[in-house]
Homo-oligomer: A and B are copies of this chain.
Amino acid sequence: MAITIKDVAQKAGVSVATVSRVVNQKDIHKVGQKTQKRIEEILKELGYYPNTMARGLKTRRTYNVGVVFFWFDKPSLSDPYLSSVLDGILAFYGEKNYNILMNTFSLKTQNPGIYTNFINSGLVDGLLVIAPPVESQFFQDLKQGALPYVLISHQVNDKDVCFVDCLNTQGIIDTVEHLISLGHKKIAYISGRNEYSKNSLDRLHAYKYIMKKKGLPYREEMVFDGDFTPESGGKAVDAFLKLKNKPTAIIACDDSMAVGAIRELRRLGLRVPEDMAVCGFDDIPSDLNLTTVHQPTHQMGYEAAKMLWNQIEKKPLEYAHRFFPTRLVVRETCGFYLKKANAKDKKH
């Protein structure tokens, strides 16, 4: 059996109350100097560690935060986006000596009991949620419950609900403008799961908006509905290449689909960017030198964690919503450096 506070008290010849005070350094002025010293020594000697369960039961604080990932299929941490966000979360709570409790749920095999239990069981002090904005028992329970939480990459029309997100719209606008500056006019778009992902929808709207604004009419057949998988990126390419009026550039709603598109193009013997420019979104690590939009995922995780922590510790909240800027990262698949090199050649 593990050492309890009682054992320490007995050995020190004091009451458990006194031991508790020196362990937690709370009301410590109520403990005499010598007693304190003595207890501290015995603490080390016996190797005492407070029982989290007992303490949690009494204080209603666990120093655990839950991180829940929802996705269509069981989420995989091999997804660079998720793992980067998680890294940010870990970085923050590492500093604060909190524990991270992870859970992944699939929207397909909804078993509300499980995650609702997670909310209500008193296991965690708060929740970080990465999930598409679908209707579900989970979000209802979250809203009704007293547990603090912060949504990640998930905007919500509610002043009281905390979330962090990035400026999707700006990212797409930058990309389109960049492609236009390289001379492209026929720019196709591969969309994500619009029915589930607000991010995806925002990006699509941004694409339509900026195309129109730039005088490049939006054409139905220039948009392909993908599902965030490389395979769907490949299918998009097949569809685009069948068109009479083929695009000269493709923007994908995320990097996975961009990667899939490039693979398919190469498989068909086409060169990227010479025959087709391709841009992505997310800036996941890859060796394809993808031109893409960077999101500060690590920072988003970190800041979300911080917002949650502020709630848990009842610090004043500076803001309930936080938007992070995106940044267009120009690499090779858009053709920028190709064009530059050509220009140089002509000079000579």
Contact = CB atoms under 8 A, between A and B. Distances in A.
A233 to B, nearest CB: 13
A50 interface: yes
A101 B64 contact: yes
A239 interface: no
A97 interface: yes
A122 B52 contact: yes
What class of interface size applies to chain A in its complex with B?
35 or more
Given A51-B122, A57-B57, A99-B123, A94 B104 contact: yes
Interface string A47-81: 10111111011000010100000000010111010
Contact of A99 (B83, B86, B103, B146): B103
B121 A52 contact: yes
A16 interface: no
Interface stretch (A177-185, A274-282, A283-291, A337-345): A283-291
A78 B103 CA distance: 18
A15 interface: no
Interface in A285-309: 285-288
Contact of A91 (B74, B102, B103, B118): B74
Contact of A77 (B53, B77, B104, B285): B77
A194 to B, nearest CB: 26
A66 to B, nearest CB: 8
A53 B94 contact: no
A120 interface: yes
A217 B94 CA distance: 48
B99 A100 contact: no
A336 to B, nearest CB: 19
Nearest to A91: B74
Interface of A: 2, 47, 49-54, 56-57, 62, 64, 74, 76-78, 80, 83-84, 86-87, 90-91, 94, 97, 99-104, 114, 116-118, 120-123, 146, 259, 285-288
Given A2-B146, A52-B123, A100-B103, 15 more contacts: A47-B120, A51-B57, A52-B122, A53-B53, A53-B54, A53-B57, A57-B57, A74-B94, A77-B83, A77-B87, A97-B114, A101-B102, A102-B102, A259-B287, A286-B287
17 contacts: A2-B120, A2-B122, A2-B146, A47-B120, A49-B116, A49-B121, A51-B122, A53-B54, A54-B122, A78-B80, A90-B102, A94-B104, A97-B114, A99-B101, A99-B123, A259-B287, A287-B287
